[in-house]
C-alpha cells in the first residue's frame, strides 16, 4: 500500500525534526501537538499543522508518534473517532516513544484487531539526528508491517533494523538507555577523579577517547555538552529517569537481579541537584558533584 501522507503526533524536540525531515523528503506531512504555539515553527518546515488529533488519525496513511509516556501513546491509539474506528485502509503506527514492551504488545493487538499495525520504533540520535534524518531506529513488530513502513523509516533514519516481534524495539532501547545512564554516572566520576588527582578532565577525556574506556558518553556527550558547559542535548533528566525505571521494572518482570544497574537507578532517582527538567548530560558534570 502506498504511503503518501504521514501524520506526526507530538511535535517536541524529536517529533518536530522528524516531521520536517519527512516533508523535506517528499511526504505530505500532517502534524499535531497539544501546544498550538508550535504551528508557526512546523509550518515553516513544510509541515501542515492540524489542530484536531482526530483529523490527523483519520487522514494519514501512516502515523509517527513522538510522545513522552506509554499512557500518552495509549490515549492517542484509543482516541474516540480515531484509528480504532477507521476502516478505509490499513494504517501503520510507528511509535518512536520509549515505552514498556507490555503496553506496546497490548496496543499492537488492539490495532491489529481493527485492521491496523503498530511498530515500536524507539530512536537514538537526538534532535539533530531527527532534523537530519540520521537517527538509529530499533524496530519491533511483524515483518510485513516493517516492510510496509520501510519508506517512512528510511526517510527518518540512517539505520532502522528490524530486531524482532512486537516489543523487541523497546527492549533494545531500554537496554541501550540503561547503559547510557550508567556511563553518564561512571564517566562523571572518573573525570572528577582525574581533576582531583591533578589532571584536567578535558585532557583526560581526550586520552580516554583513544583507549578502551571510551563510550558514546565520553566521545560525544562530554565534549559537546559537558566540557562546553551548554547542557542542551534536548533530552531531559526526567525522561532518562523514566527509561531507567522502565528497564528495572522489566528486569523485575523477568525475575533477574541487576545489582549495579539498581545502584545506577538509585543515583538517578536521588540526585536532587539535577531536576527532571534539566538536560540529562548534567549527570556527567565533573565540576559540581563531589559524590553521589
- CA distances to 55, 56, 116, 152, 218 from 61, rounded to whole Å, are 12, 10, 11, 11, 41
Q: Which of 54, 58, 56 is nearest to 86 (CA)?
A: 58
The burial class, CB within 10 Å (0-12 / 13-18 / 19+), for 37 is: exposed
From 38, 90, 173, 242, the catalytic residue: 173
Whether the CA torsion 175, 180, 185, 186 is positive or negative: it is: positive
Residue 261 · residue 247 · CB < 8 Å: yes
User: In Å, how far from its chain's centre is CA 161?
Assistant: 15
Query: Residue 34 half-sphere exposure, CB side, CA atoms within 13 Å?
Result: 6
Q: Which of 91, 182, 180, 173 is nearest to 135 (CA)?
A: 173
CA pair distance 141, 167, nearest whole angstrom: 7
Whether 289 is a known active-site residue: answer: no
Q: Which residues carry out catalysis?
A: 173
Amino acid at each position: 500500500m502506498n504511503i503518501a501522507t504521514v501524520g506526526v503526533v507530538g511535535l517536541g524536540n524529536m517529533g518536530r525534526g522528524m516531521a520536517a525531515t519527512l516533508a523535506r523528503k517528499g511526504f505530505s506531512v500532517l502534524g499535531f501537538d497539544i501546544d498550538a504555539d508550535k504551528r508557526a515553527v512546523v509550518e515553516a518546515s513544510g509541515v501542515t499543522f492540524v489542530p484536531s488529533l482526530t483529523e490527523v488519525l483519520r487522514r494519514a496513511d501512516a502515523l509517527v508518534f513522538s510522545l513522552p509516556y506509554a499512557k500518552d501513546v495509549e490515549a492517542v491509539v484509543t482516541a474516540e473517532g480515531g484509528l480504532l474506528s477507521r476502516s478505509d485502509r490499513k494504517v501503520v503506527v510507528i511509535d518512536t516513544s520509549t515505552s514498556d514492551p507490555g503496553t506496546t504488545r497490548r496496543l499492537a493487538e488492539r490495532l491489529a484487531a481493527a485492521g491496523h499495525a503498530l511498530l515500536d520504533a524507539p530512536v537514538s540520535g537526538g534532535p539533530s539526528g531527527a532534523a537530519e534524518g540520521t537517527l538509529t531506529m530499533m524496530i519491533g513488530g511483524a515483518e510485513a508491517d516493517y516492510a510496509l513502513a520501510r519508506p517512512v523509516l528510511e526517510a527518518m533514519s540512517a539505520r532502522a533494523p528490524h530486531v524482532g516481534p512486537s516489543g523487541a524495539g523497546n527492549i533494545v532501547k531500554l537496554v541501550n538507555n540503561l547503559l547510557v545512564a550508567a556511563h553518564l554516572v561512571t564517566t562523571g566520576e572518573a573525570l572528577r577523579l582525574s581533576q582531583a588527582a591533578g589532571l584536567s578532565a578535558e585532557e583526560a577525556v581526550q586520552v580516554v577517547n583513544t583507549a578502551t574506556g571510551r563510550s558514546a558518553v565520553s566521545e560525544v556527550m562530554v565534549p559537546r555538552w559537558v566540557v562546553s558547559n551548554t547542557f542542551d542535548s534536548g533530552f531531559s533528566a526526567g525522561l532518562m529517569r523514566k527509561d531507567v525505571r522502565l528497564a528495572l521494572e522489566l528486569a523485575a518482570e523477568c525475575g533477574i537481579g541487576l545489582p549495579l544497574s539498581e545502584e545506577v537507578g538509585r543515583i538517578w532517582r536521588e540526585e536532587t541537584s539535577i531536576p527532571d527538567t534539566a538536560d540529562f548530560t548534567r549527570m556527567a558534570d565533573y565540576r559540581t558533584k563531589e559524590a553521589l
